[in-house]
């Protein structure tokens, strides 16, 4: 699967060269490529922004450089889903990540800066996505969050695909159950006995109950419509 990002700071995406996503790139399972918006800037100074009509603070990203950059990427990589990273977009969650992961050949993510985009840019994309109700200095981190969330769902990226079902917001739609490892006791806190007994049926039942209980306590909105509370 391909991930393309139009950005003024392509060096920021080097963070994706490490860890799980970096290994997947080296194996050729996914591709992550940054495209420098400044290459499509206007005039001798490669201008990509301008003062807003009607006045106001800050600068607004001009439509021409963004349109040219998107056209160039799409000409070389047809079929990409064009996504604008903006706090005004639909909120990224696990179902949306799964949906995006099914789009081939991949995604074109547009990361903004300054006070946002000229409104006409919105007509040039397929979707608008936000990673939360807060404001960042730019869309690069948001684009990387989308890449991380979607890429790990691509077959071959995770070493153990079964772990996807056990994670928070997995197929059960709840938070992940508590996890423990050695030592059995640490500062007076012991590993639950059920995890030490080797009875996999009891362990599975305990994990289901604890996952539901944790969700009800921390994120009740996720489970409010799923039935009675855990006991």
Q: Express each pLDDT in 143-168 by its tens digit.
A: 999 999 999 999 999 977 666 656 66
How far apart are alpha carbons 203 and 150 in whole angstroms?
30
List Cβ neighbours of 138 (8 Å cut-off, separation of 6 or more): 7, 8, 9, 111, 112, 113
Task: Give the strand pairing for 185-186 and 189-190.
Answer: antiparallel
Angle at 157 between CA 107 and CA 222, to 5 degrees: 75
What is the per-residue pLDDT for 160? 73
Mean pLDDT, range 109-130, rounded to an integer: 96
pLDDT(228) > 60: no
Please provide the average confidence, as pLDDT, over all residues in the chain.
Answer: 93
Q: What is the third-level CATH fold of 2-151? A: Alpha/beta knot (3.40.1280)
What is the per-residue pLDDT for 89? 96
CB of 80 within 8 A of CB of 108? yes
List Cβ neighbours of 15 (8 Å cut-off, separation of 6 or more): 144
Sheet of 127-130: strand order equals 31-36, 2-7, 106-111, 81-91, 127-130
Between the alpha carbon of residue 204 and those of residues 166, 177, 194, 208, 211, the distances in Å are 11, 10, 10, 6, 11
Q: Which two tokens stand for residue 94?
A: 């696990």
pLDDT(33) > 80: yes
Cis before residue 105, ω within 30 degrees of 0? yes
Which of 3.60.21.10, 1.10.10.10, 1.20.930.40, 1.10.1270.20 is the CATH number of 165-222?
1.10.1270.20
Q: What is the pLDDT of residues 168-218, one digit of tens each?
A: 666 567 899 999 999 999 999 999 999 999 999 999 999 999 999 999 999
SS3 81: strand
Q: Where are the domains of the chain?
A: 2-151, 165-222
């Amino acid at each position: 699967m391909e991930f393309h990002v139009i950005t003024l700071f392509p060096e920021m995406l080097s963070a994706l060269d490490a860890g799980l996503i970096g290994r997947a790139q080296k194996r050729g399972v996914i591709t992550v490529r940054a495209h420098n918006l400044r290459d499509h800037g206007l005039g001798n100074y490669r201008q990509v922004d301008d003062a807003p009509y009607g006045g106001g603070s800050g600068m607004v990203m001009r439509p021409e450089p963004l349109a040219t950059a998107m056209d160039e990427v799409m000409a070389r990589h047809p079929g990409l889903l064009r996504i604008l990273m903006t706090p005004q977009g639909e909120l990224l969650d696990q179902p949306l990540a799964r949906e995006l992961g099914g789009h081939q050949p991949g995604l074109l993510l547009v990361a903004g800066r300054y006070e946002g985009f000229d409104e006409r840019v919105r007509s040039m994309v397929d979707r608008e996505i936000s990673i939360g109700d807060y404001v960042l200095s730019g869309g690069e981190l948001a684009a990387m969050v989308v890449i991380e969330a979607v890429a790990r769902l691509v077959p071959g990226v995770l070493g153990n695909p079964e772990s996807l079902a056990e994670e928070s917001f997995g197929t059960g739609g709840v938070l992940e159950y508590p996890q423990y490892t050695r030592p059995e006791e640490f500062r007076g806190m012991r590993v639950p006995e059920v995890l030490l007994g080797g009875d996999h049926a009891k362990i599975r039942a305990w994990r289901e109950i604890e996952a539901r209980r944790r969700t009800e306590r921390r994120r009740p909105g996720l489970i409010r419509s799923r039935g009675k509370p855990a006991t």
